[in-house]
Structure 1
Amino acid sequence: MSPQPRIAALDNLRTLMVLFIVLLHAACAYAFSIPWWHVRDGLNQGFDLLIFCIDGFALPVLFFVSGLFAEPSYERHGRGGFLKGKLRRLGIPLLLLPVFYLPAMVYVGYHHRDSFPVPFFDYWLHWVSTMGDWRFVLLDSMETGVHYVDACSPHHLWFVFMLLIFFAGYALCRPRFRGTDERRVTRSTLAWTWLLLAAGYAGINLLFQDWAWARLGPYILFQPTRVPLYLGAFLFGIHARPHLARQGTLPGSPYLWMVVFPVLFVTMLATTDRTMPTGPASLPEAGLRGFLRAGMVVSGICLAVNAIRRFLRTASGWQRSLNSSSYDTYLLHMPLVVFAQALLLTVELPSLLKMLLAFLATAVLCWALSRQVLARLPAPASLGLLLAFFTACCLLF
């Protein structure tokens, strides 16, 4: 079977969602809802709304796009090549960056909250000393979270770990996903997807509270209630690939989904307790929350895909360059956002402008590093660059 051609609109979609994630993290320093964030500056509830909105669609769309790309990647490389490629591309950064890159980001927060901070290298020794702790911990309260704030963690790379698990599962279960290039996505498909995601979310929410994170060792971090949503979005992407390759869009116009998504989002805000309650939800609460969150996932995916297909279906030279850097941008962005927020702490500017500056500076720097540095270096040299960054942190701080 000949390899399936790349679809420029889907590359554009993935890049746009990564940039939304960068924007989300750029807003975290200014939001009330992220009290553990490494920099706290000029809090305003408007940033909470922005974070809640992006959280409702950006990551599910990224998992959906990953599902779309799974099949052509598997066809190009076969099972062995597919798994080796994913282990190399996803597994190596997941192993190395939490050890040599992310500690610098967390040290920024530690340096601000501790009156007598230790040097960075001493802090790093404590960080790596926690890597042997492989107990399962549910981070469902601020007290528990504070206990692990200086422990080795993947932070935003939880997405990479979960994606690696999904790809491995796809490769092992490949025969169940094969068999047709005639798969269609109809309104009935969307309704069943919505229902199944809602049921999965509600079932988990009966056991775990909505916002809680689960930690297992230094590399595994996830929100239990989100797992059915992300897995469902990934599987939806696998199912939708032949349909999008033929017809280009999902059912419904972007204008329809532009109405549905905000209605569900506003309803969720109006009906959901945002005070981080302890304990699992009741059955009515879990059912309602599952219906709304699953609806945001389905409508967010349909809105994103159909809008991109209509308004951004081709890619110019600079867009292709930006698309090529999207994965590196995701890997690199979070510490750079925190560094920018820390530099802006003492600058007298409105919080909105600070957020935009942190976002733009990070996005441009990630793009430059990806295209001008990482793309031109062999893998051993990239590792040397990472170790040089770590050494500089030890010498400067």
Structure 2
Amino acid sequence: MTQLVNRPAAPPSTSPRLLYVDNLRTALTALVVIHHSALGYSNIPGWYYTEPPADPSGTLLDFVILFNQAFFMGAFFLVSGLFVPGSYDRKGAGQFLRERLLRLGVPLLLWLLVLRPLATVDRYTAARDAAAQQGTELPYLQYYLQSFIPGPMWFVEVLLVFSVLYVLWRRLAVKGRHTSESPSATGRTPGALAIAGFTVGLALVTYLWRIAVPIGVSILGLPSPAYLPQYAALFTVGLLAARRGWLGGLSRTAGRAGFAAAAVAAVALLLVLVSTGEAGLGHGTLPSLVAATCESAFAVGITLGLLVLFRERFGHQGRRRRFLSAHAFAVYVIHTVVLVALNHAISDVQAPAVAKAALLAVLALPLCWAAAYLVRALPGARKVL
């Protein structure tokens, strides 16, 4: 691992697997489970099971969700972008797209046709009974279409779109030029000034975007379209970092500085949200500009810090970490059904909202990986999960 840190990275087509990136992806997957464990007991709507908090700890969950939302899916897109150039180089456009459709499209269909109906069966029952009391019928197909959203699999949808756009860029924008981008494309890791400039640019674009798409608005079933500029920007950073060997050149000082900047930005963002409320969510207000700036600094800083931390401390995989990494994507696909089942199982537990969310997360994390192991044991499942 020391060699990987101290010398330029090889081109993606020949570079070894970055185990610390796999481990980071596993941690982010666990964070998704924790995020959705908190969502059902918070004051923020949007989960398949809701239990409105009857105590102030629900507000604490709200802030946990908001801060988590500020960076974790953007970090997911960056990690996903890291693996795209090498995969394209090895397989070419046609095979790359076919594999993307297989590895992303099939799980999406699995969610839409099997897992989503399981996760929403109680909601449909309630809606059907309410319709019956009014003397009307509500066939399941009608309910399914009227309530259609991709749920957590929105990430897969957007990632598939980004992958297609990357292929188009490789085929069209650089047509007729040398596109294998050999080691000569390796460049110096961006310094503090470049990272700061990127953060400011991201903040401005996010602010402008949220004039039309403020936080809390859903578009085409996407639960967090207000963060699309961050997702696209960090996915692009992942593409460039993979091609130019940036990750290995990040210093420990950069990682510590990233965490420090994230801490300062988090405090500032908290103050903005508490003092301005909904004015910080968008619509072109001054508080929304400040919030977008703090949020961008938080996201960039904590992602930078995590990359360095995992490279330095979690760069190896034993049997346990290999198991967790191998099943992480399957956990992402199926975790909603596990969580909703557990939501109902502990529905009679009387406890503060934050305690119930913590209990759910503690139960759900091992069960999600156990369920993923069973699902991936099915014939052919490992080809797509």
1:72 is matched with which residue? 86
May I ask how many residue pairs the two structures share in their alignment? 357
2:155 is matched with which residue? 159
Structure 1: which 5+ residue stretches go unaligned?
131-150, 384-397
Q: Is the 8 A contact 1:185 1:251 kept in 2?
A: no
2:62 is matched with which residue? 48
Q: Is the 8 A contact 1:252 1:302 kept in 2?
A: no
From 99, 118, 121, the equivalent of 2:113 is 99
1:389 is matched with which residue? none
Matched to 2:219, the amino acid is: A
2:166 is matched with which residue? 170
Matched to 2:336, the amino acid is: M
In structure 1, the residue corresponding to 2:50 is in which secondary structure?
coil
Q: Is the 8 A contact 1:248 1:309 kept in 2?
A: no
Q: Is the 8 A contact 1:187 1:251 kept in 2?
A: no
Q: Offset of 1:279 from its aligned partner?
A: 9.3
Distance 2:36 2:300 in 1: 23
Distance 1:256 1:250 in 2: 10
Percent identity of the aligned residues? 24
Q: Offset of 1:182 from its aligned partner?
A: 2.6
In structure 1, the residue corresponding to 2:71 is in which secondary structure?
helix
Q: Which moves more between the two structures, 60-69 or 284-293?
A: 284-293
Q: Offset of 1:367 from its aligned partner?
A: 1.6
Q: Offset of 1:51 from its aligned partner?
A: 0.9
Matched to 2:141, the amino acid is: L
Q: Does 1:192 align with 2:190?
A: no
- Give the alignment's TM-score, normalised by structure 2: 0.82
2:3 is matched with which residue? none
Q: Is the 8 A contact 1:183 1:240 kept in 2?
A: no
Q: Is the 8 A contact 1:329 1:363 kept in 2?
A: no
In structure 2, the residue corresponding to 1:368 is in which secondary structure?
helix
Q: Offset of 1:270 from its aligned partner?
A: 1.4
| CA offsets 1:106-129 (integer angstroms, 9 cap, x no match) | 3334556887587xx966322344
| CA offsets 1:310-366 (integer angstroms, 9 cap, x no match) | 221111111011101111111111222122112111023454443233223332223
Q: Offset of 1:98 from its aligned partner?
A: 1.9
Distance 2:280 2:255 in 1: 37
* Correspondences of 1:1-397 after superposition (within 5 Å): 2-34=13-45, 38-43=49-54, 44-109=58-123, 111=125, 124-130=140-146, 151-174=147-170, 179=181, 180-182=185-187, 184-215=189-220, 220-221=221-222, 223-242=224-243, 244=245, 247=248, 249=250, 252-272=253-273, 275-276=277-278, 280-379=282-381
- Give the alignment's TM-score, normalised by structure 1: 0.80
| CA offsets 1:53-81 (integer angstroms, 9 cap, x no match) | 21122111101101111112212222111
Q: 1:53 to 1:113 in 2, by over 3 A?
A: farther
Q: Is the 8 A contact 1:63 1:233 kept in 2?
A: yes
Matched to 1:86, the amino acid is: R
Q: Is the 8 A contact 1:99 1:128 kept in 2?
A: no
In structure 1, the residue corresponding to 2:40 is in which secondary structure?
helix
